[in-house]
Structure 1
Amino acid sequence: MQFQISEELIEKIKYLVEQRNDEELLLHLEEVHHADIAEILTELDLDDATYIVKLLNSQQTAEALMELEADRRERILENLSPKEIAEELNEMDTDDAADIISELSLELQQDVISEMTDEQHADDIVELLRYDENSAGGLMAKELVRVKENWSVTGCMTEMRKQAENVTRVHSIYVVDDKNKLKGRLSLKDLLTAPSHANISDIYIPSVDYVNVHTDGEEVARIMQKYDLEAIPVVDEMNRLVGRITIDDIVDFIKEEAEKDYQMAAGISEDVEADASIWKLTRARLPWLILGLFGGLGAVYVMKGFDEALSEYVELFFFTPLIAAMAGNVGVQSSAIIVQGLANDNLRGSLFNRLLKEIGLTLINGLALGALVVIFGLIVGMPQLVSFTIALSLMLVIIIAALIGTFVPIILDKQGIDPAIATGPFITTSNDICGIFIFFYLSKTILGF
């Protein structure tokens, strides 16, 4: 039966913590999965959550800490001593431990590393901290199973048993030479069916996909997705095997990148959580709100330049929100598709062909929407010339908005800027101003005011 977290359970745990009834607390929590432990820690206040982390063994809480949101985890770690944090890190894979320790201050990092009992584990963590967190080096774990090409099958089995003790899941077996350079991979089936006197060099598969420590995380994700890999080895500049990236790590990376892009598209300038501080949330949202404010003031200034039109053709005033909304919507739709294509690396063909395709698409959409505006004008008895002007303006605005939404992300990507910023207030604001200007300028040309 699946473990259920209820209000009654949370209240029970709170009561047991308050009473310092460690024996019954352990009875309730010792066999609980680490993901459920993390959910319980989220529901408790900071002091109670810290008490639980200190009470349970590090093997159980280490994985639970990784399941917590970064801000929550950081606050719990602040309540632990360097020795207690080190005990948690000793139970983690090196990639997870490096992620945890990177969230600490430099001074606390040094204190924690000095408290770690496994020196090799500490050295591996320090090595991972050298790499950019979004690179293959920053995503990889040092735990893996490697065998040498000159080993016999019997000797290989003995060595693998020793190495596997420190590896949570053995996805792949990698073959290296005496200088630790990656040579290929070893099939477990081939290993088990090979004669005991055979050498690994006779049975390993020389073809193996791998990435460099400096390969961008998004490229790693693309390669693993394309070739359906559960794990991929990582090599350094000299082609020496230094780690591996597993599917769960890359899924976490993709999730974090998607959340960041979603927030950026919504006009949030930095990665924040729902329970972040008011100051951090304000700092993340305010810059784009200011941009929106200036965009709105710009639109007001544009309309002010056509005040004669608003007095002579009052209908134009009522259609202004429609023009602005359609410009923003079309721009966001176009940019969202392009950003998705850039992220998945499936944007193919020349810019000219994409230009023709986008113009063709927007012409069809613009004609359909313009026709609906003309029909609406006939129904409400609006002058036909005004209806035609609004419909034509809408078509032109849609075309311009689609082109801006298409090419701005491409240009940003070529400049090394995350194109996700193009799908939010940036596109909406620019298209609002541009759309309103086109609307009134075309109206002035046709209606002659």
Structure 2
Amino acid sequence: MSPDPTPVLRPPFLGTARQHATDRVPMAVRRDSVEAVLTGLRGRQFDAASVVAVVEHGRLEGLVTIERLLAAPLGASMAAVMDPDPPVVTPATDQEHAAWVAFQHGEPGLAVVDDDDRFVGLISPQQLFGVLLSEHDEDVARVGGFLATSAQARAATTAPVRHRLAVRLPWLVVGFAGAVLSALLVSLFQAQLEKEVLIAFFVPGVVYLADAVGTQTEALIVRGLSLGVDVRRTAWLELATGLLVGGFLAAIALPAVYLLWGDLPVACTVAVALFAASSFATAIATALPALIHRFGKDPAYGAGPLSTVIQDLLSLVVYFLAATAIVF
């Protein structure tokens, strides 16, 4: 008898077969008679009694369902009525995989054994059913684009105003602080703006386009996190996309600004700023949601305000540095 050959592993026993297994189940040895086992069941309390485990020297020899035990002749031995090769899983097997193993074999309980076939415990039918319900709930939540479980998503949707404010306001206060910093940053370049007013015309456009590029990336990353996608798989694709988008915007801005305003240095400044700001925005929008998610917070609340603040500040810094280098 060997454990299922394709277990899916998680960190130590979190969401694994070991978490749901219990050794408070009926047990017997091969030579025990059916009558003796049935007599021994009376007056005792078990966590699960749908299956009798036949165990010799700590090793699992087979399983007998309670239905088969009741139908067997009283004088028959457990060795004669047991299933000597039942489906089993290891303690580290993923809970969903374990539930499906039991379901596919039509078992009312699933045995958990270690690598040496030593009996760890049984997963009861109630536990198996609970695992399937929990996993189904999580899968539906992910398909719906929610983070974690649908219960949490429903709680967030129906939360009272007080809770909504408590979750959202801290992030918006950070956004306000960023707006103040942005105003201070622009004031540092007051002399340059007075000398070349045309530079000021493109500040909103550069900041908006960087935010728009970042928002697109952020939406994809948050959606990927809700679906359980590894961010590392999409990070490089998004970063490459950000560079290409920035290059495309720069290629459009350069001739457009020059043809409309006739100022080549300003046109080059806008083009350089759009390329750099779009690239930075993609990187920030990729990293922040993953970082917030890692700290156990919902990136749907925090990623937007925080990434917007950082993107705006960087966009302004890049734009005015480019203007200082090219125009002045």
Q: Deviations over 1:419-445 (max 9, x none)?
A: 753632221221111111211121122
Q: Displacement of 1:277 after TM fit? A: 2.9
> What SS is found at the alignment partner of 2:176?
helix
Bigger relative contact order, structure 1 or 2 (CA pairs below 8 A, ≥6 apart): 2
What is the alpha-carbon distance in structure 1 between the residues aligned to residue 121 and residue 86 of structure 2? 17
Once the two structures are superposed, the pairs formed by residues 401-412 of structure 1 within 5 Å of their partners are: 401-409=281-289
TM-score by length of 1: 0.46
Partner of 1:314: 197
Partner of 1:252: 137
CA separation of 1:273 and 1:412: change in aligned 2, threshold 3 A: closer
Once the two structures are superposed, the pairs formed by residues 356-435 of structure 1 within 5 Å of their partners are: 359-409=239-289, 416-418=294-296, 420-421=298-299, 423-435=303-315
Partner of 1:70: none
Q: Displacement of 1:390 after TM fit? A: 0.4
What is the alpha-carbon distance in structure 2 between the residues aligned to residue 446 and residue 389 of structure 1? 6
Which one of the candidate residues 197, 200, 208 is aligned to 1:325?
Answer: 208
Letter in 1 for 2:295: I
Letter in 2 for 1:247: L
Partner of 1:200: 82
Letter in 2 for 1:313: E
Once the two structures are superposed, the pairs formed by residues 37-436 of structure 1 within 5 Å of their partners are: 136=15, 176=53, 199-206=81-88, 208=89, 239-241=120-122, 243-244=127-128, 245-254=130-139, 259-260=146-147, 272-338=155-221, 340=224, 344=228, 346-347=230-231, 359-409=239-289, 416-418=294-296, 420-421=298-299, 423-436=303-316
Report the structure, 1 or 2, having the larger helix content.
Answer: 1
Partner of 1:66: none
Q: Deviations over 1:235-276 (max 9, x none)?
A: 7999433533433322324556753579xxxxxxx9854554
Q: Deviations over 1:3-24 (max 9, x none)?
A: xxxxxxxxxxxxxxxxxxxxxx
Question: Aligned residue pairs: how many?
Answer: 268
Percent identical residues: 18
Equivalent pair of 1:174/1:184 in contact (CA under 8 Å): no
Letter in 2 for 1:344: G
Q: Displacement of 1:335 after TM fit? A: 4.3
Q: Deviations over 1:203-248 (max 9, x none)?
A: 4123x37658xxxxxx867x689x8997997979994335334333
CA separation of 1:434 and 1:315: change in aligned 2, threshold 3 A: same
What is the alpha-carbon distance in structure 2 between the residues aligned to residue 175 and residue 372 of structure 1? 74
Q: Displacement of 1:360 after TM fit? A: 3.7
Letter in 2 for 1:259: F
> What SS is found at the alignment partner of 2:202?
helix
Letter in 1 for 2:137: D
CA separation of 1:224 and 1:386: change in aligned 2, threshold 3 A: farther
Structure 2: 5+ residue runs without aligned partners? 1-13, 39-49
Q: Deviations over 1:182-206 (max 9, x none)?
A: 96999x9xx9xxx998533324123
CA RMSD of aligned residues (A): 5.1
Structure 1: 5+ residue runs without aligned partners? 1-134, 160-172, 213-218, 263-269
TM-score by length of 2: 0.60
Equivalent pair of 2:110/2:122 in contact (CA under 8 Å): yes
The structure that has the greater radius of gyration is 2
Partner of 1:91: none
Equivalent pair of 2:292/2:298 in contact (CA under 8 Å): no
